[in-house]
Amino acid sequence: MKKKYPLQFAVIGTGMVGTAIGFLLKKAGHNITAVADASAAHLKRAKAYIGAPAFSDPARAAGEAGCILITTPDDRIGSVCAVIAEKSPLTGKKVFHMSGAGGLDLLAPAARAGALTASIHPLQSFSSIDGAIASIPGSYFGVTASAGAKRLAADIVRDLKGIPIPIAAEQKPLYHAAACIASNYLVSLLSVVESIYQSIGFSEKDARRAYLPLVYGSLKNIENQGCPNALTGPIARGDSGTIQKHIDAMARHLPDFASMYAHMGVIAVKLAREKGTLGAGQAKTIMGLLKGENS
């Protein structure tokens, strides 16, 4: 499919991601001809960024554009698509969603109505519209598309200054699970770090100041050397005495986090073996400690 510029977009769902994507598409030279949302406050906020006509009815907005971008929460994509397909002609149009885990089945009503369908998912974390606008360029996008929409979907990602990577529909749940671990679970993990430091008297602010340089250093090591070679610490060194002290302290003072420590330790043992700094005997000893077999 050849690109014809500028494209006409309707953005259905003006949360953080939808508003940021609409802003960036407009900046790239496309026309945002309509936005839609059930929230009047979201529409007012989106107008400040995008300046497009606003509708509460998604089908009405979809009728204003050739490319329809559904950026609602994942659980609403299918129902919103069904409403649009029922009320607005879709033959020859393109309908996209931005779910990380959802496949093209969410857009099946649009496909049956004659639209080409695709999913473009930014592999990025958003906590504000301005932050999303700043971080989307340069990010990878998982692209899942029907045969006739693959080139256009990739081109739109490039217009957003993103990097498209093809993801098969059946791979999307694992692709998105990995993204959640990298982002959401990293946040969760660091909240545990804060809790441990607070338990020994650190303020939340001081805890963050103390551990963030360590986190940044670890991320830089991963970037430069990969995960196995970036692993340091007592497991990488085979220091079973220190591991036992950790296990005892966690069990005594913070038992809610003890199983998490053990599960992460098992993964670290495997990385240390891959790195080549942990012998088989040392690994067996530490695994026994982590699984409670030596207690």
Q: Where does residue 107 rank: exposed (0-12), middle (13-18), buried (19+ CB within 10 A)?
A: buried
Place of tokens 């002609």: 89
Crossing angle of helices 258-275 and 240-253, in 10° steps, is: 160
For residue 293, the model assigns a pLDDT of 83
For residue 4, the model assigns a pLDDT of 59
Number of alpha helices (DSSP H) and beta strands (DSSP E) in the chain: 15, 8
Q: What is the mean pLDDT of residues 131-152?
A: 96
**How many CB atoms lie under 10 A from the CB of residue 137?**
14
Residue 139's Cβ-side half-sphere holds a number of Cα atoms within 13 Å equal to: 21
Q: What is the mean pLDDT of residues 207-232?
A: 97
Q: Which two tokens stand for residue 105?
A: 């089945």
Query: Rounded distance, CA 115 to CA 152, Å?
Result: 13
Q: In the predicted model, is pLDDT for residue 1 greater than 60?
A: no
For residue 198, the model assigns a pLDDT of 97
Contact 110, 97 (CB under 8 A): no
Cβ neighbours of residue 167 under 8 Å, at least 6 residues apart? 121, 142, 143, 144, 175
Q: Which residues of 142-171 are buried (b: 16+ CB within 10 A; e: fewer)?
A: bbbbbeebbebbbbbbebbebebeebeeee
Q: What is the pLDDT of residues 92-108, one digit of tens each?
A: 999 999 999 999 999 99
Residue with more model confidence, 263 or 294: 263
For residue 39, the model assigns a pLDDT of 96
Contact 129, 49 (CB under 8 A): yes
Q: What is the mean pLDDT of residues 60-86?
A: 97
Per-residue pLDDT band at 2 (split at 50, 70, 90): very low
**How many CB atoms lie under 10 A from the CB of residue 208?**
15
Q: In the predicted model, is pLDDT for residue 81 greater than 80?
A: yes
**How many CB atoms lie under 10 A from the CB of residue 108?**
15
Q: What is the mean pLDDT of residues 143-162?
A: 96
For residue 19, the model assigns a pLDDT of 97
Residue with more model confidence, 293 or 266: 266
Q: What is the pLDDT of residues 7-45, one digit of tens each?
A: 999 999 999 999 999 999 999 999 999 999 999 999 999
Dmax over CA atoms of the chain, in Å, equals 69
DSSP one-letter code for 106: G
Query: Rounded distance, CA 31 to CA 11, Å?
Result: 11
For residue 240, the model assigns a pLDDT of 96
Q: Can you say whether residue 13 is alpha, beta or left, with left for phi > 0 and alpha for psi between -120 and 50 degrees?
A: left
Q: What percent of the chain has pLDDT over 70?
A: 98
